Each structure stands twice: as structure tokens, then as C-alpha cells.
Structure 1
Amino acid sequence: MSRVDITPRLGLNMPGYLALRSATGVKDKLYAKAIVLDDGKVIIGLVAIDALDLELNDVIRIRKKIHEFTGILEDNIMVCSTHTHTGGPVVNSFVTKRDEEYIKQLANSAADAVILAYNKMQPVRIGTEKGFIEDISFNRRYFMKDGNVKTNPGRLNPMIDKAAGPIDPDVMVIKVEDIEGNIIGAVVNFACHLDVVGGNEYSADYAGELRKVLKAIYGDGFICVFLNGLSGNINHINVNTDKEISPFHYKKMGRILAGETVKVLTQINGEEYISIDSKKEVLSIPQRRVTEEELKKAKEEMESENTSKTDKIFANEVLEFNRNRADFTNVEAQVLRIGNATITGFSGDVFVEFGLNIKNKSPFDYNLISSHTNGRNGYIPIKEAFEQGGYEVRTTRSNKLTYEAGDLLTEAVLKLMRELKKNS
């Protein structure tokens, strides 16, 4: 396991919001953290990067360098982004432009993290277990009393009827220790948007605090690879209280998550001999079609002086998407198997329901599911959400896949899991 600092220089843009932000400071450093496992037959590599997202071409660049230096098959490498909203300029997002110089630096550093982990491999014992946290994440879509569905409708809004979906309370933990029982690190998976910090300082958000606490407990050499779960409709905002969210709320979340992680780690008895495997499939998923009515509306909003700044941004997104639209997008489905546990990579900001469905149907005991993995494909909502409306289903340059995408990816993942189970 290893970590490499990927904190950008100050002054660069920070993607994730509709407004342009330039970094003025560093609240906490950003990292690429990696783990490499080898059972003598198969080698797998995983890297989690403190970034909003990465395009598939950037993922491919990272894989190629890793393969060149280690020989690990590119199909056996998973590249995840934590989806922090206080990271560097890695993608074109609304008014923010990607910075090619930083992308090159990040891609090299992410690959280096895996290469270093490969070079540091040693005999280990591995085990997996799960915990639960139910009070720091919330479904952010709500049925309103007027029949609409709104995202983040505001605290104590009298028009709120009920949440439009569930959360995933699982805290999935893979423990890695040396053969003498000394803990080396862990892979931790939890589903909640990394958009707690805000502002203009670089930060890994609550995942950074989680890692900081675990390092304080287990020593400076401890590596925590954090994977953000399927949280396209999950965030930290509790609408049932009037209490203001503290600027340090991300620390509270990270510490609560760290506490549960420590509890789970104490329950795990690692095994020295486990088998590993990997499966990947590339799906050609249809892109959305913009109707003539949508195009007309977008053009009118761009030309009107009465259009709000936000509506103009979304109108421009529709026009840009339509201008560059393709019939299909290649989307990866990938599953790594580590003993009786799996790590699934989903390419997009995926609704939590898909993850719960996979966990329910998986043939394996433990299932870690990572969003924003192996490419960028915007929000992937459930079909019902397209009928309900709301922020997550609006068409943008990244929100481009049809309503079928989530179901197609789920079917592909479950098929890969069945194949891995058969071969285990």
C-alpha cells in the first residue's frame, strides 16, 4: 500500500459548483492512495484519488504507466475518484475548465502510487467485515406536498412530505495486516457525497479526516484507501433540523466514520491465503436525445436577458451536449474479487438504489461498491427519477446517458460477480 501527494498549486480552479472558484489555500492535502494484491496467479491494483472525477482517457493513461512499470494487466487496475468538491481542475464542469498540466501531474502521481505499492508488496493477512452508520448521510431528494420532487429543499421546509429514497448505512472495511498481526492499512467504503467542506481551500473532505484519525491511531505508516459508495442522491444535509451546519461538520463525519471503522477492524481476523481475481466488461450505453422543444427552450434562455445565471448555465450545457452528442458512450463495469469480498467500480454519480440491489443479489458475503470509478458519466439515476425530475436528471455534458444506464450496468456487474463466484 502507498500514498502520493497530489495537492495542486494555488490559484487553479476547483470543479464541482456552478460558480467559478480559484483555490486560495490548503485545508488538508490531497492524495492518491493505492493497494496492490498478488496471490501468485493474479495481480490487482486499485488507486483512490482525491478528485471530483476523471475522464476515461485519463484512467487509461494511468493504467498504461502502471502496466509499463509493473506488468499488472490494465484490465486488473481500478481507478477511483473520491468525488471531493474541493479538489483540483480535473474535468470540464459547468464554468470550470480542466487544467492539462495538473491532469498530467495527477495521472503520473496516481500511477506512481500503484507502482510504489507494487514495489512494497509483502506477505499479508486480509479480512473483510462491515459496520453501520445511519445518522450522518441522508437521501437528498424529497417528495413535496405539491407532488414535485426536489433536491435539497431546505431544512424544516413545511412542503416536504418524505424522502424519495433510502440511504446505504454500510461501512465496508477490508483490513490489511502483516503476517505478525501488525496493521498496515485498510480499504474503507461508505456512501455519502464528498461536498461537506465547500469554500476555496483544497480538502479531501470527510474522507481526509477519516484517514487522519486512523493514522493517528495506527501510526504514520497506516494507509486508508477510501472509496465513495453510490451516493448520487445521498449527502450530509438533515432537513429535519434547524441546526446550522458547522464549518467543522466534515471533521465530525470523518471522526464518526473513523470510530466505526476502528470498531470493525477489531472484529476482523485476517487470512494469510486467499485468492483474488478480476473481471471487466465495456458496455456501449445509448446517450440521451435532446428534443426539439428542449433545444428551443435552451436557445431562448440563452438569448433572454431575464434568464437567471443558473438557468443560463444549464441551457448552455444542453446546447453543448447536443452539439457534441454521440449515439453511444463506452462505459466500464469492473469487479475485483478479494477472497469472499468484491470491489465493484461504477463509472458515474450513481443512485444508491443500484448499490443496494447489487448487495442484495450478490453471490459474495461482502461487497464494496465505488462510484466515480474508471471514467466520468455524470449522474446515473433510477428510472423513476427521470419521471420525477430534479437536479440529478437535468441534461448536461456529463449527464448524458439514458435512463437505462443504471439497470444495464447493474446487470453487467451481477453477471461478472456470478462468473467470479464460479471461478473461485
Structure 2
Amino acid sequence: MKMRFLLCHAVTLCVLILTATNLQAAETPQVKVGFAERDITPEIGMEQPGGYGKSFHRSFHDPCKTRAAVFDNGKNVVAVVSLDALFIRRVTVDEIRKRVEAKCKIPAHSILLHATHSHSSGPMGMILPGEYDHASKFVQELAYEKSSTADKAYLETVVDQSVEAICEAYQKRSSSECGAGVGIEEQVAFNRRFFMRNGITYTHPRPGNPDIVKPAGPVDPEVGVIGVWDEQGQLKGCLVNFVCHATTNPGGISANYIYYVEQVIRGFFGKDTVVVFLAGASGDVTQVDNLSKFQRRPSEESSRFVGGRVGAEAVKVLLSMPRGNFETIASKTKMLKIPRRKPSKEHLEEALEQVKAGPGKAGATNWIFAKETVLLDARLEKEPVADVEVQAVQLGPVILLTDPAEFFCQLGLDIKAGSPFPITFPVSLANGCVGYVPTKEAFDKNGGGYETRLSSYSNLEITAGPQMVDAAVELSKQLTPDKLAERPAAPAFNNNPWEYGNLPPQVD
């Protein structure tokens, strides 16, 4: 009788364990992921952004794209979108989010829209159509005729194609295995700011300059990668995070070095692999080595060198990472209100005089920043305070922490240091653009460089960087990371070494 009771109890216990296991499996279904991309290549003759004046595209090198990844764990859905663009302004972000939420029900706050900062992309700004219509005719001429301006029709194309890519990725989502890892690439990116013998900081002091003392900031050589595989083991797509300005400019319209990152990954995993590239805190990091003793590589070679090495490192990480399930998919946002810095009365009066004198008399650089001071003064009439969105997107054990700025590298490293996640991707120029955001130290008596100058583009108060870092870290601590996937453990040793391997030497 006692034996029968124990047997029944054991059977009941097994049933309960199996039921609990099945319920747990039902509660944590395999994550579904979809990828898609669309073409946003500008037309030849359109403006090429990237400076404070006008420049125009004269040739084509490779297509610009908007690339989307959608992750769905059955409870939450997030979209991570990368555009081959210099930046994306807040009004464009809002329009894309609104249309996507209406069309395929992804919540607006769960959509991350990032610009790779390609300096060889389409006309997304600096100045938006109608942005200075409130100002005087004199200021309007400086804005629309003397500055880099967005093309209204092109902006509409970017919105349309981005919405299509996100919604297609949503429709294509299917059960997927995911993995994450980090590699190191140390030969392609360099801090461009240097302490000089005169006590201040220069941006790009030029190789061979004898007055260089040392770099004024760090680099971040990590190549962060998320890989997504279908049920047949084919890589569907990946997210790649790296810190380097997209200023290699291979010649003509281009996604910049990101094109070669994609080419390398597709060369190994297949031409249909979608590569969602996410630039990290690259505000003071470029491909230019100001300490090099050698001639700079030509633009095309430089693009191949940077993109090829980053892509190759991403392939190594993808081949090495264990795969599993991303159980937690989540997003959080925080909106900061950060005041813009104002030029003094004397500064503004001097700027007006220089603008009216013209670049020939004032000097080209002085004239450019004088023009920017006048434009900033007009912008402050409408927008004395900037809306700054900081977003956290959790993908299993990885967290993406955004800023809408050309964020200095040290600030990205500060975010990584404060995040509790095993892998953190700082993602700059996301969900808007507020220009350069340097460290506070860049503004002190030993600071300098054009990133610290007041302009209509860069003008937030000098504590903006730490404010964004604190907000990002705060959001990361409100989320709990999944454990990183691990390869299956090796079986226990069975006391039987390989028979071929344990043979003694044989000498006849």
C-alpha cells in the first residue's frame, strides 16, 4: 500500500513538473523577427548635406537605403530602423511613427529611427522647408540660399519608404533564433580632437603637426552585433553597432562605408541578409588618423578599408555567437527639455557685421559661423528649448540607448559603464537631431574645435551631454536583461579517451 502511494505521488509530481514546463514554454514563445529595406537614393543634382553651405551630388556610387528590423515576443513589438542619412529631424520622426502606428499598429514610442550620418546621402537638411519663414527676408536668404537645405519631395520619399519597410518587416516576422556578441576593430577609427601646445583643443590639426600634444578624447573599438536566424538556420539579418563618422565619401551618392559593411556580411551569409547599421557616439571619431606618418587613403579605398574591416569583424562575431531566444522585448522613452545657448548681444552684433561684409572680407570660416549665429538668433525666437528624446529598446540581453545628437565618444562610454546590461549599444542621431553634444570638458579653457561653436545646428547648454547620459542609464536600470545565450555544455568525461589519440610512440 505504501509502495503504491509513493508510486502515485511520483507520477503526480512528474505530471506537475511537465505541466509547469509546458506552461513556462507557452508563456515565453520564440521571438518573431522580420527584416525589410527600401531604396531612398537621392537624384543626381540634389543637395549633398554635411556642411554649413551648399554642395550638390554629381555622380552615383551605391544606393542609400532605409532598413528595418521588427522584434515581437507576443507581448511587445519594437522596430529598429536605420536610414542612410546625415540625420533625421524630429518632424520626420513624428510623421513616420504616426503612419506606422496607424498602418501596422506598432506603438509610436516603440519605433527607433536612426540616421547613420552618411555625408554622401540625400538632402535631409540642415534647414527644413519653411523653417525660417517667420524671420526677415535677410535671414531667409541666409537659410534657404546660403545654407544646406532639405528637399521637400525627398523628405516625403524617405517617410513613404521608411513606413513601407517597417510594415513589411512587421508582416514578415517569423520565429527566429537570436544571438548577440561583441568584437573589436582597432585600426579604422580615431579621435579627431587634440590638445595642442598653445593650451587649447583643435579638431583635425592635420598629420605631422608638431604642436600636437595628445588626443583630447577616446575611441570605442567595440563592434556590437545582434544576429537573427530563421528556422532553417539561414541568417535573416543583423544589427551592427560601431563608432565612426560616415565621412569616407567614396565618390558620389552613397551609404558611405556602411555599403561595404553590408557587402562583406552579404558576401558570407547571402545577398538577402539585411544589415541594420547603428552608429554609436561618433561625434568626435572619424576614419582620419591625425597621428599617421603615411598618406591618407583615397576616398574609395578608405571606404573599403573601414567598411570591410568592420564588416569582417561583424562576420566573426556572428559565426561565434551562441543562439537562443530573446524573451524580453521592451521599450521606454524619456523626453528632456534642454535650453539652447544664446549668443551675447556683442557676439550677435559682430556676426551681423561679418555677414554683411561677405566671406571675401570677413574670411570664409568667420563668415560661415557668423551666418550660423544670425540663424541661431532667429531660431531661438521659435525654439528656445529643445525637445530631446532618450529611448531604451531592449532586445533580450542587449539594450539600445539613444540620443538625438552627434554625441562625443566619452559620453557613449559613460552610458556603457552605467548600463546593467551585458551588451549595450549607444545609438546616436536617433529620433531627432540637436547637433553636436560635446563633453563639458570640451567647453573649458583647454577646449575648442568647431563642435563647441554656437550655430543654428549645435547650441544646447553645455550640461546636455551628462543629462542625456543620466537619462539613458536611468532607463536601462528600469529594465532587466535576459541572460546571454550559451553553447550547450560538453558531456561529462566518460573515462575513455580517443583510442587513436592515446597510442604510444612507435619506433622500429
Q: Which residue does 1:378 correspond to in 2?
A: 435
Give the residue type in structure 1 aligned to 2:461: T
Supply the distance in 2 between the matched residues of 1:28 and 1:311 (Cα, whole angstroms). Answer: 35
* One-letter amino acid matched to 2:392: V
Q: Distance in 2 between matches of 1:384 and 1:296?
A: 28
Is residue 70–residue 80 contact of structure 2 (8 Å, CA) maintained in 1?
Answer: yes
Secondary structure at the aligned position of 1:128 is classed as strand
Residues in 2 aligned to 1:327 and 1:273: alpha-carbon distance in whole angstroms: 42
Whichever residue aligns with residue 56 of structure 1, its letter is: R
Residue equivalent to 2:241:
189
Give the conservation status (yes or no) of the 8 Å contact 2:190–2:287.
yes
Please state whether the residue corresponding to 1:63 is helix, strand or coil: helix
Q: Which shows bigger deviation, 76-85 or 315-324?
A: 315-324
1:422 Cα deviation after fit: 8.6
Distance in 2, Cα, partners of 1:198 & 1:124: 35
Tell me, in whole angstroms, the C-alpha distance in 2 between the residues paired with 1:364 and 1:243.
Answer: 41
Secondary structure in structure 2 of the residue aligned to 1:25 = coil
Deviations, residues 335-387 of structure 1 (Å, cap 9, x unaligned): 10011110112101000111101111111000111111000100000011112
Q: CA deviation at 1:327?
A: 2.8
Amino acid at match of 1:262: V
Q: Does structure 1 residue 262 correspond to structure 2 residue 315?
A: yes
CA contact (8 A) 1:301 1:312 kept: yes
Question: Which of the two has greater strand per residue?
Answer: 1
Q: Secondary structure at the match of 1:266?
A: helix
- Are residues 1:162 and 2:214 paired? yes
1:359 to 413, 416, 421: 416
Whole-angstrom distance in 2 between the partners of 1:162 and 1:422? 38
Q: Does 1:26 align with 2:85?
A: no
SS of the counterpart of 2:333?
A: strand
* Alignment pair present for 1:219 and 2:270: yes
- Between 154-163 and 272-281, report the one with greater CA deviation: 272-281
Query: Per-residue CA shift, 1:133-185, capped at 9, x if unaligned?
Result: 11211110000111121000101111111000100111000011113322111
Confirm or deny that 1:389 pairs with 2:389: no
Quick check: 1:18–1:310 contact (8 Å CA) kept in 2? Answer: no
Pairing partner for 1:330 from 363, 368, 387? 387
Task: Say how many residue pairs are matched.
Answer: 423
Q: Which amino acid aligns with 2:402?
A: G
Of 79, 82, 93 in structure 2, the residue corresponding to residue 45 of structure 1 is 79
How far 1:303 sits from its partner (Å)? 2.9
Distance 1:414 1:386 in 2: 23
| Fraction of identical pairs, as percent | 32
Taking a change above 3 Å as real, the CA distance of residues 301 and 324 of structure 1, as seen in their structure-2 partners, is same
Q: Give the Cα separation in 2 of the matches to 1:54 and 1:104.
A: 12
Gaps of 5+ in 1: none
> Higher Cα Rg: structure 1 or 2?
2
Asked if the contact 1:195–1:205 (Cα under 8 Å) also holds between the matched residues in 2, the reply is yes
Distance in 1, Cα, partners of 2:394 & 2:296: 42
Could you give the per-residue CA deviations for residues 278-333 of structure 1, whole angstroms, max 9, x where no partner exists?
00011111111211221122122223352112221210111111122033111100
Which structure 2 residues correspond to residues 240-259 of structure 1 after superposition, within 5 A?
Answer: 240=291, 241-247=293-299, 248-259=301-312
Deviation of 1:423 after TM superposition, in Å, equals 11
Cα gap change, 1:225 to 1:331, in 2 (>3 Å): same
Partner of 1:319: 374
Distance 2:54 2:321 in 1: 45
In 1: Cα distance, 2:288 partner to 2:324 partner = 39
CA, structure 1 residues 423+332, in 2 after alignment: closer, same or farther (shift >3 Å)?
farther
1:298 aligns with 2:351: yes
Once the two structures are overlaid, the 10-residue window that deviates more, 171-180 or 32-41, is 171-180
TM-score, with normalisation over the residues of structure 2? 0.81
Given residue 112 of structure 1, which amino acid in structure 2 is its aligned partner? E
Q: How does 1:139-178 map to 2 (within 5 A)?
A: 139-178=191-230
Taking the TM superposition and a 5 Å limit, the aligned residue runs for 1:93-112 are 95-112=147-164
Q: 1:174-227: CA deviations, max 9, x gaps?
A: 01111332211110000000011165x111111111101211211111011000
Unaligned runs of 5+ in 2: 1-34, 128-145, 484-508
Q: CA deviation at 1:5?
A: 0.7
Instruction: Read off the aligned partner of 2:105 and give its amino acid letter.
Output: G
Q: Is the 8 A contact 1:80 1:370 kept in 2?
A: yes
Which residue matches 1:413? 472
Residues in 2 aligned to 1:227 and 1:275: alpha-carbon distance in whole angstroms: 21
Matched AA of 1:311: N
Report the residue type matching 1:251 in the other structure: R
What's the offset of the Cα at 1:273? Answer: 4.9
Give 2:282's match in structure 1, choosing from 231, 234, 242: 231
Q: In structure 1, which of residues 203, 211, 214 is the aligned counterpart of residue 254 of structure 2?
A: 203
Counterpart of 1:68? 102
Letter in 1 for 2:371: N
SS of the residue corresponding to residue 91 of structure 1 reads coil
Q: Secondary structure at the match of 2:320?
A: coil
Distance 1:203 1:277 in 2: 33
Q: State the alpha-carbon separation in 1 of the partners of residues 198 and 150 from structure 2.
A: 40
Distance 2:204 2:244 in 1: 14
Deviation for aligned residue 1:19: 4.3
